[in-house]
Amino acid sequence: MSTITEADMNKLLEEEKAYLGITWKDETTDTLLRSYIKTSIKRLESIFGDDLNFINGEEAYDHLGHELLITRVFYAREKALDDFDSNFRGELLTLRNYGKVKQLMARKEGSEDANE
């Protein structure tokens, strides 16, 4: 799993709370959302096959990962992760394919460096 700093986690938490319309302070809610964020990061990175930059990534797969993260936490909070998997099957497959292409390109670059 990518290393998420406390500042990054706070940024993701505030973004998630804004998405959910949560405007009040509640430690129990924050703790629960943090847990959902962490498990969603693990799940999405396992699909991708590598670390994703959920905060300031510039690649298309980072943006897709970020979008899926915010949405997956919403589904987790609503106890509807089965619906998330089916509703976002296409996006999850796209994320997996991005990961496969990234791995293939890394291998190709590695073999080209070895030939030099």
Task: Kindly report, residue by residue over 93-114, the tens digit of the pLDDT.
Answer: 999 999 999 999 988 887 766 5
User: Cβ of 77: how many Cβ atoms within 10 Å?
Assistant: 16
Q: Residue 115 above 60 pLDDT?
A: no
Give residue 3's pLDDT.
Answer: 76
